[in-house]
Amino acid sequence: MTTSSHSIPQSSASSSDAPRDLQAEERIAAFDVLIEAIASLSQAGSLPVTGSAVRLEMGRLTYGGFDPKRVGYKRFRDFLDDAEGRGHVEIDRDRPGDVAVAIPGSSPEAGFTSRMRSDLWKAFSDWNPRTSRFYDLNEDRVVTLPTEPAPLEPTRYTEIRKRISENSSGFVEIKSISRQKQLDWMRDFALLVTDPEVSRVLTEALKSDHPARYFVVVLRSFPSLLNRWHNTLRERVYAEVLKWRDSDSRLATVQIDQMDSSASPPPTQLREEPVGLAGTAGRRVVEGTQKHAHDLDVVQFFASQTPGKVAQSRSPLRQRLHEAIERMPESELRKISIPVGYLFED
């Protein structure tokens, strides 16, 4: 395996298995998008996060490409149920109406309780360079549209462009927080993690071809850190929105927080626990191997990216993996994805 490429290695398969393998890869990608959608809605203050809201957000994040049938499910609910069975999400089926969906262990920490309006959150945190964002002062809301007009584009975009052209003073442009700035926030966060091994794994993930995605994948294995990152991100985005509002007198009356605070449950303080690869959170990764195989692959991969690493002794994570594998039945072992090269190395 060439470690410098920073792409997660996949197991080899025969050509006859290619369609099935492709669907499995797309299913893994769909689970990643599911987590991203829930995190986006949660950070924006849209609590509780409902199943229907998650499906709409997944559609937005994939430009309409997500379809549960494409990844092997008859209904979106079947997709959610399988995601819960694999440990990716928690589903609250007791609430009236639509189910609520959450990332396991993602109750917000105490300290930052403001819940930002979802339209402002998306406008500032989505770094898509092909999208323009404006605040409509008359309608008191954010409007977004593709930066460059296209032939046969939806009528709503044409109408927004016309309104902005005819009444430019009624709109204030929003500059989203750049990808680079948000990645810098992630690097700062990784450096402040007290466990040196976890800090190193996060730093390596940020050197990959998809740094933001794998940064979050690694954090999912450490729920306390994931919550802390969500709080940090909310605070920094909130600060940027405040600076934007203060920069223009026309924005003085803009309400940043969501109006109905009753929709947000009171924050709860998570019990502090060890968050190292050898601590409680690391143990959770190993014990949930069959449910978190992809996340574990990612953590293992970036944990191996240490230049000049001396394999004189087995790391705590490797030790626990070996112990877990010894206890697992063969049926579960067959579900683990291992790069085929490792099976034949001396």
252-293 pLDDT, tens digit each: 999 998 765 433 333 332 222 322 333 333 333 333 333 345
Examine residue 256 and state whether it is found in any structural domain, yes or no: no
Examine residue 68 and state whether it is found in any structural domain, yes or no: yes
Range of the domain at 150: 128-174
Examine residue 123 and state whether it is found in any structural domain, yes or no: no
Residue 318 pLDDT level (bands cut at 50, 70, 90):
low
Examine residue 232 and state whether it is found in any structural domain, yes or no: no
Residue by residue, DSSP assigns 32-97 as: HHHHHHHHHHHHTT--S-BHHHHHHHHHHHTTT---GGGGT-SSHHHHHHHHHHTTS-EEE-SSSS
90-129 pLDDT, tens digit each: 888 776 678 888 877 554 444 454 678 888 988 998 888 8
22-58 pLDDT, tens digit each: 788 888 889 888 988 888 777 665 567 889 989 998 9
| Co-location of 94 and 141 in the same domain | no
Is 48:100 a contact under the CB 8 Å cutoff?
Answer: yes
Residue 300 pLDDT level (bands cut at 50, 70, 90):
low
pLDDT the model gives residue 264 = 38
In this structure, what CATH number is given to the domain that contains residue 82?
A: 3.30.420.610
Does the pLDDT of residue 223 top 80, yes or no?
no
pLDDT the model gives residue 176 = 93
pLDDT the model gives residue 301 = 63
| Co-location of 95 and 60 in the same domain | yes
Looking at the structure of the chain, the number of domains it has is: 2
